[in-house]
């Protein structure tokens, strides 16, 4: 058995959120630089240039990359040989509370979806837990902005819709979203499972590294084809028209019912903030 | 690149075309959903506004808290379509420029023609860079709304792109039509 101190979890979550908000991952920045070279619209090129300039300035001066420092999404991977005393959710929320109140981040969470009073510390976080064998304790965090989250969708397709149906749904979703989710975007897709499982898979897909590829050959093929087709939509950087609408497509899959083909699409803006660490 | 100073010149605003890049220098006001709602309620009751919107610029933004020594926190645009229902009462009072991000409704575009106004986009997510162009920031009213309060910003060379002009031009439509290949 390996003991984890919840105070360490809180401290880690605090520093990871501040760090994530100020520093775009190096591989995302690299991908943006490639997009700047490849973009054919002169205005689109200029816009990506401004995004890169912003991300470098933010890192340099330790400022949040975007004013929407999001809802705090936390994925915990906990080994079955790990023990801790107390409330792990509260430990995570305390880290979020400290990051947002002490780290000059915007508080964007309301306590009730209908009376809409701000909680003033960006809690509660959305926490997902996965139990695995061994003694690992891994924390992944992502501040997720509202602009891109609002453009996401879940749809229960039927098996007859197949790959073509999925592609149509993805292309429609990205095209209709236009400039609203701050393109160039990353598209996370969950296929299979059931209603709630596919939504979670779409989010998990966005936690993957921007330059990885699905180990599943069918999913990997779909990632390549969708990336190419989305970039033919012409939406372009910030929706002003162009050849780079999407930086990467991530497809996660899971077994499903013989009658179902659940599909979820989670859109991530160019401010793809994500940090990962193992305690 | 076209320079705009505030209060804006009506003729210059009408001459802007979708796709033009502008730099704004002068005073702009901030406002999001909650502040817009209150402004429109005042007008409905026949009361006067706490800010002079005639020939003014309103920027849809809810910044992060400012770090010590900085005028403002990171301050990129928020999605504009949510402010569509509040546009006409303010345009009637003489508002000429709105700055945000993303597409808006067809009705809103018609209003711009009717009132000779424009909609500009700032670059979504370029919030740290934008904060560098804000030299001064103070709360005008609705302090209780926090980041959503109405602020008066003094800006220098604030970068924006004309998205909908006053003659029906739409950068989204024009740009996408040019690059769509599917
Ligand atoms: S969609 Fe992303 S980049 Fe755009 S404002 Fe929201 S968080 Fe920022």
Q: Do the Cβ atoms of A233 and B180 come within 8 Å?
A: yes
Same domain, A137 and A154: no
Q: Do the Cβ atoms of B73 and A270 come within 8 Å?
A: no
Residue A172 has a CB neighbour count (10 Å cut-off) of: 13
Domain count within chain A = 2
Q: Do the Cβ atoms of B146 and A242 come within 8 Å?
A: no
pLDDT at position B182 over 90:
no
pLDDT at position B146 over 90:
no
Instruction: Compute the CA torsion angle A47, A150, A70, B33 (nearest 10 deg).
Output: 90
Same domain, A79 and A187: no
Same domain, A164 and A261: yes
The pLDDT of residue A54 is 98
Percentage of chain B with pLDDT > 90? Answer: 97
Distance A132 CA to ligand 1 centre (A): 33
The pLDDT of residue B148 is 87
Evaluate whether residue A203 is within a structural domain: yes
Smallest CA–CA distance from A106 into chain B, residue: B64
Tell me the C-alpha distance between A227 and A221, whole Å. 10
Q: What are residue B2's DSSP bridge partners?
A: B22
Average pLDDT, chain B: 96
B180 shares contact with chain A (CB less than 8 Å):
yes
Tell me the C-alpha distance between B170 and B137, whole Å. 31
Percentage of chain B with pLDDT > 70? Answer: 100
Q: Do the Cβ atoms of A105 and B64 come within 8 Å?
A: yes
Tell me the C-alpha distance between B182 and B176, whole Å. 11
* The CATH number of the domain covering residues in B2-179: 3.20.130.10
The atom number, within ligand 1, closest to the CA of A67 reads 8
Domain's final residue, options A144, A167, A202: A144
B37 shares contact with chain A (CB less than 8 Å):
no
**Taking a C-beta distance cutoff of 8 angstroms, is the pair A142, A28 a contact?**
no
Tell me the C-alpha distance between A235 and B152, whole Å. 33
* Threshold 0.90, pTM exceeds: yes
Using left for φ > 0, alpha for ψ between -120 and 50, and beta otherwise, residue A36 falls in alpha
A238, A246, A267, A268: best mutation site toward chain B, by most B Cβ within 10 Å?
A238
The pLDDT of residue A22 is 98
Q: What are residue A132's DSSP bridge partners?
A: A79
Q: What are residue A188's DSSP bridge partners?
A: A250, A266
3-state secondary structure chain B: CEEEECCCCHHHHHHCCCCCEEEEEEEEEECCHHHHHHHHHHHHCCCCCCCCCCCCEEECECCCCCCCCCCCCCCCECECHHHHHHHHHHHHCCCCEEEEECCCCHHHHHHHHHHCCEEEECCCCCHHHHHHCEEEEEEEECHHHHHHCEEEEEEEEEEEEEEECCCCCEHHHHHHHHHCCC
The pLDDT of residue B147 is 80
Same domain, A155 and A260: yes
Tell me the C-alpha distance between A176 and B1, whole Å. 30
The pLDDT of residue B145 is 86
Cβ of A66 below 6 Å from ligand 1: yes
Name the residue facing B181 among A147, A150, A234 (closest C-beta): A234
Tell me the C-alpha distance between A100 and A69, whole Å. 9
Same domain, A15 and A130: yes
Q: Which residues of chain A have pLDDT under 70?
A: none
B123, B137, B172: best mutation site toward chain A, by most A Cβ within 10 Å?
B123
Domain's final residue, options A112, A144, A176: A144
Same domain, A229 and A266: yes
Tell me the C-alpha distance between A104 and B40, whole Å. 31
Cβ of A21 below 6 Å from ligand 1: no
**Taking a C-beta distance cutoff of 8 angstroms, is the pair A170, A158 a contact?**
no
Cβ of A36 below 6 Å from ligand 1: no
Give the three-state DSSP class for A240: coil
Evaluate whether residue A156 is within a structural domain: yes
Evaluate whether residue A262 is within a structural domain: yes
Smallest CA–CA distance from B67 into chain A, residue: A104
The pLDDT of residue A117 is 87
**Average pLDDT over every residue of B91-112:** 97
Shortest Cα–Cα distance, A264 to chain B (Å): 23
Tell me the C-alpha distance between A170 and B182, whole Å. 14
Same domain, A70 and A89: yes
**Taking a C-beta distance cutoff of 8 angstroms, is the pair A173, A235 a contact?**
no
Same domain, A135 and A71: yes
Same domain, A175 and A262: yes
Range of the domain at A195: 147-274
Tell me the C-alpha distance between A149 and B166, whole Å. 31
Same domain, A13 and A127: yes
**What ranges in A132-194 are assigned the alpha helix state H?**
146-149, 162-177
B68 shares contact with chain A (CB less than 8 Å):
no
Same domain, A210 and A242: yes
Domain ranges of chain B: 2-179
Domain's final residue, options A123, A144, A165: A144
Distance A136 CA to ligand 1 centre (A): 32
Same domain, A137 and A153: no
Tell me the C-alpha distance between A101 and B132, whole Å. 22
Q: With contacts defined as CB-CB under 8 Å, which chain B residues touch A238?
A: 101, 121, 123-124
Evaluate whether residue A48 is within a structural domain: no
pLDDT at position B56 over 90:
yes
**Average pLDDT over every residue of B48-76:** 96
> Strand ranges (DSSP E) for A40-94?
71-79, 82-83
């Amino acid at each position: 058995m390996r003991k984890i101190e919840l105070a360490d979890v809180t401290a880690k979550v605090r520093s990871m959120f501040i760090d994530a908000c100020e520093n775009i991952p190096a591989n995302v920045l690299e991908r943006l630089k490639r997009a700047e070279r490849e973009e054919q619209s002169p205005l689109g090129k200029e816009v990506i240039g401004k995004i890169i300039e912003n991300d470098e300035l933010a890192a340099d001066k330790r400022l949040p990359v975007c004013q929407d420092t999001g809802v705090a999404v936390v994925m915990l991977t906990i080994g079955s040989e790990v023990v801790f005393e107390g409330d792990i959710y509260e430990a995570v929320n305390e880290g979020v509370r400290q990051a947002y109140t002490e780290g000059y981040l915007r508080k964007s969470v309301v306590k009730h979806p209908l009376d809409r009073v701000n909680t003033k510390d960006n809690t509660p976080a959305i926490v997902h837990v996965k139990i695995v064998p061994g003694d690992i304790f891994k924390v992944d965090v992502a501040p997720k902005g509202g602009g891109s989250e609002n453009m996401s969708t879940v749809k229960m397709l039927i098996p007859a819709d197949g790959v073509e149906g999925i592609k149509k749904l993805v292309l429609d979703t990205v095209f209709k979203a236009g400039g609203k989710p701050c393109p160039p975007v990353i598209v996370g897709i969950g296929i299979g499972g059931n209603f709630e499982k596919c939504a979670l898979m779409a989010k998990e897909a966005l936690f993957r590294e921007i330059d990885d590829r699905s180990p599943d050959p069918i999913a990997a093929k779909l990632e390549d084809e969708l990336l190419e087709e989305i970039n033919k939509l012409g939406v372009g950087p910030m929706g002003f028209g162009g050849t780079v609408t999407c930086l990467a497509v991530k497809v996660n899959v899971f077994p499903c019912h013989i009658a179902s083909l659940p599909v979820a699409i989670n859109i991530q803006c160019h401010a793809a903030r994500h940090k990962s660490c193992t305690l | 690149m076209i320079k705009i100073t505030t209060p804006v010149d009506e003729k210059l605003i009408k001459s802007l075309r979708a796709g033009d890049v502008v730099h704004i220098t002068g005073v702009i006001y901030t406002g999001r959903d909650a502040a817009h709602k209150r402004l429109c309620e005042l007008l409905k009751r026949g009361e006067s506004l706490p800010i002079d919107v005639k020939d003014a610029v309103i920027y849809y933004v809810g910044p992060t808290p400012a770090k010590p020594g900085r005028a403002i926190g990171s301050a990129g645009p928020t999605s504009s379509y949510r402010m569509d229902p509040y546009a006409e009462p303010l345009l009637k009072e003489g508002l000429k420029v709105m700055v945000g991000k993303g597409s808006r409704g067809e009705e809103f575009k018609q209003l711009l023609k009717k009132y000779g106004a424009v909609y500009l986009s700032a670059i979504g997510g370029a919030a740290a860079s934008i904060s560098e162009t804000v030299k001064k920031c103070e709360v005008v009213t609705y302090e209780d709304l926090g980041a959503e309060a109405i602020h008066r910003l003094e800006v220098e060379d604030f970068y924006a792109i004309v998205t909908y002009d006053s003659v029906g031009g739409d950068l989204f439509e024009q740009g996408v039509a040019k690059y769509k290949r599917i």
